Chain A
Amino acid sequence: METISFEQLQEELYHEKLPNGLNVYILPKKGFNKTYATFTTKYGSVDNTFVPLGKDEYVKVPDGIAHFLEHKLFEKEDGDVFQQFSRQGASANAFTSFTRTAYLFSSTSDVEKNLETLIDFVQEPYFSEKTVEKEKGIIGQEITMYEDNADWRLYFGLIQNLYQNHPVKIDIAGTIESISHITKEWLYECYNTFYHPSNMLLFIVGPVEPEKIMNQVRDNQSKKEYKDQPEIKRKFEAEPAQAAEKKQVLEMNVQTSKSLVGIKALHVDQSGTDLLKSELTMNVLLDLLFGKSSENYNQLYNEGLIDETFSYDYTQEQGFGFAMIGGDTSEPSKLAEKLERMLLDAKNKNGFSEEQLERAKKKKIGGFLRAVNSPEYIANQFTRYAFNEMNLFDVVPTLEKITLMDIQSLAAEVISEERFSVCQVVPKK
C-alpha cells in the first residue's frame, strides 16, 4: 500500500492496485461521522459499441443499457440490496453518466459490513427475465419524468446539436422504445465485458483505518476468481470538429424561455496532465468571461437578459467535450447572440489583466477547498479524474501555473463560430 501526502491540504491518501487489477483508494477523514464509498466501473452510456468479452466482432447494444444494468444490479435472487443496506443502517445509491457507472453507500456505523455488501453485490449479478421486464415500467417513468423537465431537455438538446455521431448525444436512460429491446442476455454481455476489477475503482473516504480497510478488500478480492482480461475494445465513429446543428428550439409547457449556447471542444484525445490543464484553463476563461464579477455578467444582468439561473460549465472526457453557457431569459435569441458575440470578442482581443487572472485563480482555489469538505465530491471526482489519468489533488498546483498566455491561446483556438450551437426552450403557443 502506498501513501500519498498532500501537505498543504493536510490529507493523506492510501492506494493499492490489487492482483486482479482493482485500484483501491482510501482517504481517512477524521471528525466526520460518515464513511462514503463508491465502486465505479469505467463504463457509461457512450460505451455502446464494443467487442464483448470472449468474442471477436463488435456489437452495438440498445441505448440506455448501462443505466438499465445499474438498476438491475440491485436486485438479487433473495431480494433487493437496498433492503440489506438499510438493515445495516446505510443509505445506498448509484448513478450512470456518459463514461462511468458508480455504486455507493454512506453509513455512520457497520462500515465494514456495508463495504462487503457493496463489493459483493456489484460483483455478483443476478438478472432474470421477469425482473428485467418489471424494471421497464420503472425506468419508463424515469424517462417520462425527464421528458417533462425543461432544463434536462435543454441540456441534452444542446449536446445533440453539437454532436453528429458520438454516442454522447444519446440520452443516458435511452428511450422507452430502446429499453424494450433489453434482455437479460444483453445485460450479462455488458456486465462481463465492463465489470472486471481491472476496469474498476473503489474509493473509501471517512473516519476509517486505512490498513484495516485495505486488508478487508484484499481478503474479499482474493476469494473471488477473476481471469486476466484483455483490454476492452470500444469503437467510436469519426466525429467532425464543427457542431452538427446551429440551432434547435424546443416548445414546452413552460412560462419562461431558456437559452443555452454551447461550444464543442477541441483536442478530445487528451488525457492526464494535458486534459487537466485544458479543463482548468477553460474553466478559468469562463469565470473571467461570465463570472458574477465580470463585466459581461453585469451587462447581461442589468439589461434583464439573465437572472439567477445563469450558469456556465466546461467538461471534457475521452472523445467529447463541451462548454455550456446560459439560463432562463425573457429574450432567448438576443441572449444567444450576445453570448456568442462576447465569446468572439474574447477570442480576438487580449482583454484580461494579471490582476483579474490572479483573482480568478484565488476563487477557484477557495472553491476547491470548499469542495473537499464533501466526501461525495472527493470520491466521485477522484474517480472521474483517475479514469482520465489525472489526479484530483493536482488541481491547485495546476491552477497556480496557468498564465494569461495559456488563457489567450486557448481562447483563440477553441472559440470558433463553426463549433457554436444554441438550444432554446420556449413556451408552447
Chain B
Amino acid sequence: MDDAAEKITEMQGYKLHVIETDKYKTNTFVWKMKAPLTKEDVTKRALLPQVMQSSSAKYASTTALRSYLDELYGAMFYVDLAKKGEYHIISFTLEIANEKFLSDPSPLLKKGFELLTEILTRPNINGTAFDHETVEKEKRTLKSRIQSVFDDKMRYSSVRLITEMCKGEPYALEVNGEAADVDTINPENLYEYFQKAFLEDEMDLYVIGDVNEEEVKNLAGELLKFESRKPKEIIKQEGNRNVQVNEVKEEQDIKQGKLNIGYRTNIVYGDEDYFALQVFNGIFGGFSHSKLFINVREKASLAYYAASRLESHKGLMMVMSGIDLKNYDQAVGIIHEQMEAMGKGDFTDQELAQTKAVIQNQMLETLDTTRGITEVLYHNVVAKTDINIETWLNEMQNTTKEEIVAVANKIALDTIYFLTGTEGGQ
C-alpha cells in the first residue's frame, strides 16, 4: 500500500508526516493538536480554532482572509474537532489546487504553507488578547452549534447515550464543550490558552499530494517552529463497569423513536484482539449484510437503519436504529439475540469471509481520500503504535472464528437509551 506510506520526520515541536501521491489534483495540509479531554479546557478548545480561522494578523478580517483563500483558487480551509478516546483533537485542514492542472502556473503549495503558518502562528491580537469582536462573534456561533445538537435527533440520541453511559468519565464531555462555559471565556484567557496549547499539545502535520518530501521538509522547517515538548498523557483508567444495565428513556415530541445501545468492548486500538473486534463489528452490525441489518430491517421490517460502530480508543461499541415507538421491546430483543448469537459463534464461514472482504474494501477505499489517509494514520499517534496498512489488513484477514467469539464474550452491554415520542407506547 505505497499510497499510504508516510515519511515521518521529527520537527521542532511537532512531527511531519509526508505522503507522496500523484492521484489528486490538489495538495492537502492537516495540522492536528491533541490534548487530554478535560472539562476545564474543552470549551476553549472548541472556540480557539474558530477564532483562529476567522482572521489573522495579516488578514485582519474574515472578508480579507476569505478573499485571499478565493484568490488561491478557492483553497478550502476549515477546522474540526474530534474525541479519540479521552483526548481532544483539533484539526486545521487546508486543501489547495495543484497548479499543474491550472493554466496559471503560480506556485500554490508554498503560498498554502505560508497561509497555514500565518493562521497558526500570527493570530489577530491586541497585545495579549484576541480581537474582542471576533471572540464575541465566535462565542455566539459556538453556543448555537452546541444548541443545534438538540435539533438533529439522530445526533442528539447518540450524544445522550454517551453522556449517560460515561457519566463521570472525561469521555462524557462533548467535543464542542458546554454552553454554560462559553461565557467564562474572554479574549484574554483564550489567548492564554492559545499559548498554552501551542506549548503543550502533541502536534502533527500531514502533507498529502504530488509533493516532494525534501521540499516539504525544508518549508516546514523554515516556517513552523515550536518549543519541543513531552505531550501530556491521560492516565488509563478501567472503564466504569456497570454491573447492572442502565436503561434510559427520554420523551420528546417526535415521530420516530431513536434507539441507541452502548457496550464496553474492553478492547482498544493496539490491543492484540483489536482486529478481531473489527471483524466482530462487521458481522454484527457494520454493514448491510450484517446481522443487525438483516434481522432488524430485512426480516422484521422494523427500521430503515440498524447498525453498529466502534470507538477505537475508548473501547466502545454503539448500536443505533430508528424505530416505531411501539416496537421498542421487539427491537431490543432482536438486537440482544444477535449479540448472543455472536457469543455462541453462531455465524457461518461465509459471513466471516464476506465481512473480511468488505472490511478490506472499506479500508482501501478510505485510503483513496486524503481525509481517510490522515484519519487512518493518526490512529498510530493516538495509540502510540506503529501499525502500517499492510499489517492492519493482514492481521484482520488472519482473524479466526475463535478469536471473534472470544471478543464477543468480552463485550459487555452497558446502557440502553431510547428517545421516545410523547405518545409513549402508542
Q: Do A and B come from one complex?
A: yes
A-chain residues with CB within 8 Å of residue B288 when the two chains form the complex: 82, 86, 91-92
Neighbour of A366 across the interface among B73, B137, B153, B362, CB < 8 A: B73
Asked whether, in the complex, the Cβ of A141 is within 8 Å of the Cβ of B354, the reply is: no
**Which chain B residues numbered 255 to 298 have a C-beta less than 8 Å away from chain A?**
255-256, 287-289, 297-298
Of all A-B residue pairs in the complex, the 4 with the closest CB atoms, nearest first, are A366-B73, A137-B301, A31-B23, A366-B74
Q: How large is the interface on B (under 10, 10 to 19, 20 to 34, 35 or more residues)?
A: 35 or more
Q: Answer whether residue B10 sits at the interface, using C-beta atoms and an 8 A cutoff.
A: no
**Bound-complex Cα distance A86 to B370 (A):** 25
Q: Is B151 a contact partner of A366 (Cβ separation < 8 A)? A: no
Would you call B365 and A33 a contact (CB within 8 A)?
Answer: yes
> Which B residues, 1 to 28, have Cβ-Cβ distances below 8 Å to chain A?
3, 21-26
Q: Which B-chain residue is minimally distant from A109 (CB atoms)?
A: B361
Cβ B254 vs Cβ A148 within 8 A = yes
Q: Are B361 and A141 in contact (CB under 8 A)?
A: no
Q: A residues within 8 A CB of B133?
A: 302
Contacts of A107 in B (CB 8 A): 361
Chain A residues whose CB sits within 8 angstroms of the CB of B377 once the complex forms: none
- A227–B286 Cα distance when bound, in Å, is 42
| Interface residue stretch chosen among A186-194, A342-350, A357-365, A408-416 | A357-365
Confirm or deny: A223 has a beta carbon within 8 angstroms of a beta carbon on chain B: no
* Residues of the A chain whose Cβ atoms lie less than 8 Å from the Cβ of B150: 254-256
Give Cα distance in the complex from A10 to B70, angstroms: 23
Beyond A31-B22, A135-B301, A330-B144: 13 further Cβ-contacts under 8 Å?
A8-B103, A33-B3, A87-B350, A92-B288, A139-B304, A145-B256, A253-B254, A291-B66, A293-B70, A307-B141, A308-B141, A366-B75, A375-B368
Answer whether residue B129 sits at the interface, using C-beta atoms and an 8 A cutoff. no
Stretch of B94-102, B180-188, B214-222, B339-347 lying at the A interface: B94-102
> Which of B73, B152, B287 contacts A91, CB < 8 Å?
B287
Interface size on A, as a range, is 35 or more
In the assembled complex, the CB of A313 is this many whole angstroms from the nearest CB of chain B, namely 16
Report the minimum CB–CB distance from B158 to chain A (whole Å): 14
Chain B residue at minimum C-beta to C-beta distance from A107: B361
How far apart are B65's CB and chain A's nearest CB, in angstroms?
8
**Is B199 located at the chain interface by the 8 A CB criterion?**
no
Best-surrounded residue of A8, A10, A91, A375 (most CB of chain B within 10 A): A91
Q: Which residues of B contact A367 (CB under 8 A)?
A: 74, 76
Tell which of A90, A91, A293 touches B66, judged by Cβ atoms closer than 8 Å.
A293
Q: Mask for A291-330, Cβ within 8 A of B = 1, else 0? A: 1111100100110100111000000000000000000101
Among B140, B287, B289, max chain A CB count under 10 A is at B289
- CB contact under 8 A between A138 and B151, given known A148-B254, A293-B67, A370-B95: no
Cβ of A228 within 8 Å of any chain B Cβ, yes or no, is no
Asked if A49 is at the interface (CB within 8 A of a chain B CB), the reply is no
In contact, A293 and B74 (Cβ under 8 angstroms): no
Using Cβ atoms and an 8 Å threshold, which residues of chain B touch A149? 152-153
Interface check A238, CB cutoff 8 A: no
Q: Is the CB of A141 within 8 A of B304?
A: yes
Contacting B at CB under 8 A, from A80-127, are 80, 82-83, 86-92, 106-109
The 25 listed contacts between A and B (C-beta, < 8 Å) are A8-B102, A9-B25, A82-B289, A86-B287, A86-B354, A86-B357, A91-B365, A139-B304, A141-B256, A144-B255, A145-B305, A147-B255, A150-B151, A256-B144, A302-B137, A304-B137, A307-B141, A307-B145, A308-B145, A362-B71, A362-B72, A362-B73, A369-B73, A373-B26, A428-B253
| A34 lies within 8 A of chain B by Cβ | yes
B406 touches A (CB below 8 Å): no
**A372 vs B25: C-alpha distance when bound (angstroms):** 8
Per-residue contact bits, chain A 32-71, to B (CB 8 Å; 1 contact, 0 not): 1110000000000000000000000000000000000000
Which A residues are CB-close (under 8 A) to B362? Answer: 91
The verdict on A196 contacting chain B, using a C-beta distance below 8 Å, is: no
Beta-carbon contact of A91 and B298 below 8 Å: no
**Complexed CA–CA distance, A118 and B140 (Å):** 49
Please name the residue on chain A nearest to B67 by beta carbon.
A293
Complex contact A141–B322 (CB within 8 A): yes
Contact of A147 among B75, B97, B256 (CB under 8 A): B256
Nearest A residue to B2, CB-CB: A31
8 Å CB contacts to B: which residues of A233-273?
Answer: 253-256
Q: What's the minimum C-beta distance from A245 to chain B, rounded to whole angstroms? A: 24
Q: Are B66 and A364 in contact (CB under 8 A)?
A: no
Residues of A within 8 A of B253 (CB): 253, 428
Query: B33 to nearest A CB, angstroms?
Result: 20
Check A141 against B25 for contact (C-beta < 8 Å): no
Q: What's the least CB distance linking A182 to chain B, in Å? A: 15
Which residues of chain B are within 8 angstroms of A108 by Cβ–Cβ distance? 360-361, 364-365
Q: Name the CB-closest residue of B to A108.
A: B364
Query: Given A138-B301, A148-B256, A373 and B24 touching (CB < 8 A)?
Result: yes
Query: Is A134 an interface residue, CB under 8 A from the partner?
Result: yes
The reply on A30 being an interface residue by CB < 8 A is yes
Q: Smallest Cβ distance from A3 to chain B, in angstroms?
A: 19
Give Cα A89–Cα B61 distance, bound, in whole angstroms.
49
B302 at the interface (CB under 8 A from A): yes
With both beta carbons as reference points, the residue of chain B lying nearest to A88 in the complex is identified as B357
- What's the minimum C-beta distance from A185 to chain B, rounded to whole angstroms? 22
Q: Is A166 in the interface zone, CB < 8 Å from B?
A: no
Which residues of B have CB within 8 Å of A369?
A: 25-26, 73, 97-98, 101-102
CB distance from B330 to the nearest CB of A (A): 12
Q: Please give, as numbers and ranges, the residues of chain A lying within 8 Å of B101 by CB-CB distance.
A: 8-10, 369
Query: Contact: B360 with A89, CB < 8 Å?
Result: yes
Please state if A89 and B322 are interface contacts (CB–CB under 8 Å): no
Residues of A within 8 A of B67 (CB): 293, 359
Assuming the contacts A33-B368, A87-B350, A256-B147, asked whether A370 and B304 have C-beta atoms less than 8 A apart, the reply is: no
CB nearest neighbor in A for B96: A366
Q: Please, how many angstroms separate the alpha-carbon atoms of A367 and B77 in the complex?
A: 12
Bound Cα distance A80, B299 (Å): 12
* A148/B153 in contact, CB under 8 A: yes
Determine which of B70, B151, B364 lies in contact with A363 in the assembled complex, contact meaning CB atoms within 8 Å.
B70
Q: In the complex, A307→B138 CA distance in Å?
A: 9
- With a cutoff of 8 Å between Cβ atoms, the chain B residues found around residue A417 in the complex are none
**Measured between C-beta atoms, what is the minimum distance from A419 to chain B in Å?**
28
In this complex, the member of A30, A148, A253, A374 whose beta carbon has the largest number of chain B beta carbons within 10 angstroms is A148
Q: Is B409 an interface residue (CB 8 A)?
A: no
* In contact, A138 and B361 (Cβ under 8 angstroms): no
Minimum distance in angstroms from A422 CB to a CB of chain B: 19
- B367 on the interface (CB 8 Å rule)? yes
A209 part of interface (Cβ distance < 8 Å)? no
| Chain A residue contacts of B66, Cβ below 8 A | 291-293
Which of B25, B71, B358 has a CB less than 8 Å from the CB of A89? B358
Measured between beta carbons, the chain B residues less than 8 angstroms from A134 are: 301
Q: Residue A29 at the B interface, CB < 8 A?
A: yes
Residue from B97, B141, B148, B297 in contact with A370 in the complex, judged by beta carbons closer than 8 Å:
B97
What distance in Å separates the Cβ of A153 from its nearest Cβ neighbour in chain B?
Answer: 11
* B400 interface hit (Cβ, 8 Å): no
Tell me the bound Cα distance from A144 to B323 in angstroms. 9
Contact (Cβ within 8 A) B354 A87: yes
